[in-house]
Amino acid sequence: MLDKNKIAIQGVEGSFHHAVAQSYFDKNILVKCCFSFDELVVSVLKNTSSHGVMAIENSIAGSIIPNYALIDQNNLNIVGEYYYQIQHSLLTLSNQNIDDILEVHSHPMALLQCKDFFSNYPKIKLVESDDTANAAKEISKHNIYKRGAIASKTAANLYGLSILEDSIQTISNNVTRFLIIQKESPSIKVNYNKATLKFILDHKRGSLATILNIMSDFKLNLTKIQSLPIIETPGKYSFFVDVTFDSSSFFEKAQPILDMMTLELKVFGKYNNGEK
């Protein structure tokens, strides 16, 4: 039975996925915490969650390629997006300073994004974990002194930890784009200004340029293009594309032409641009 009040997130409460779910929907939502994106997708497909919140790209690290494949293979629908400014903090139990810390645990991406900060503290061992917030939760749950976690301020508040250092990421403008997905096709939107689609082309010279020219002719602004190999056909690629436009009528007019000019066209979602 579909639980309309539960949102599937990757990670535990206090994670960036959790913060996005609260920002996009409501702070009082119920969340289903999933260990992996595969588990998140299963929750949406089995209707144990009404929606899923899925990271798709980061301004520093780039695209999360496997998530494109998950959306495609499971015919999920994109109904929205959210851009979240990532701020990494160093969290510990109280009454410690940075010289007391021997290990810092976090997701590999968070460790990478804060590498410059820790270069000043060579005695601190950086340890990979499955989730930023879960690294914080472990410290709180087991009362682990001399260990830190890279996580959010939300995680600090949720698990009763102190913020030893704030905004320790190397690049201050660190933004992750999250997609809001669901199983069922959404009701038709009249006013939308962004779409995500996938197409496959003939393997011949100029085929991609032709499609890009069609998009330009119909006043579609290409904001993202990501190629993925087609596993069953070595040497062939599918293209995942985001386009924005001033009027939904522009896309509606372009869609049948794009359908005609491609071997396959799949529209994953028509929604409102979340970029501010």
CA-based radius of gyration for the chain: 21
Q: Do 114 and 140 have their domain in common?
A: yes
Please compute the mean of the pLDDT values over residues 142-155 and round it to a whole number.
Answer: 96
On the question of pLDDT at 1 being above 60, the answer is no
Please tell me the total count of domains within the chain: 3
1 domain residue, yes or no: no
Q: Which pLDDT band holds residue 138 (cuts at 50, 70, 90)?
A: very high
In sequence order, the β-bridge partners of residue 85 are 175
Is the whole model's pTM more than 0.85, yes or no?
yes
pLDDT of residue 4: 66
Average pLDDT over residues 20-32: 91
Residue 189 located in a structural domain: no
Q: Is residue 188 part of a domain?
A: no
pLDDT for 32 equals 95
For residue 3, what pLDDT band results from cuts at 50, 70 and 90? Answer: low
Whether 199 and 72 share a structural domain: no
Do 70 and 94 lie in one domain? The reply is: no
Q: Binning pLDDT at 50, 70 and 90, where does residue 48 land?
A: very high
Helices (H), 37-173: 37-45, 65-73, 108-113, 115-118, 132-142, 153-159
Asked whether residue 187 is assigned to any structural domain, the reply reads no
State yes or no: pLDDT of 31 exceeds 80.
yes
Provide the H-helix boundaries in the chain.
Answer: 16-24, 37-45, 65-73, 108-113, 115-118, 132-142, 153-159, 207-217, 248-261
The confidence score (pLDDT) of residue 59 equals 87
Res 176: pLDDT: 94
Q: What is the mean pLDDT of residues 103-111?
A: 94
pLDDT of residue 163: 97
DSSP assigned state of 187: P
For residue 242, the surrounding DSSP H or E stretch is: strand 237-244
Cα maximum dimension of the chain: 66
Both 16 and 152 in one domain: the answer is: no
Tell me what the pLDDT averaged over the chain comes to. 93
Give mean pLDDT, residues 136-144.
Answer: 97
Mean pLDDT value of segment 206-213: 92
Structure confidence by residue, pLDDT tens digits, 244-267: 999 999 999 999 999 999 999 999
Do 101 and 69 fall into the same domain?
no
Query: Residue 25's domain spans which residues?
Result: 6-85+174-182
pLDDT tops 60 at residue 2: no
CATH code (residue 256): 3.30.70.260
- The pLDDT of residue 236 is 79
* High-pLDDT (> 70) share of the chain, %: 98
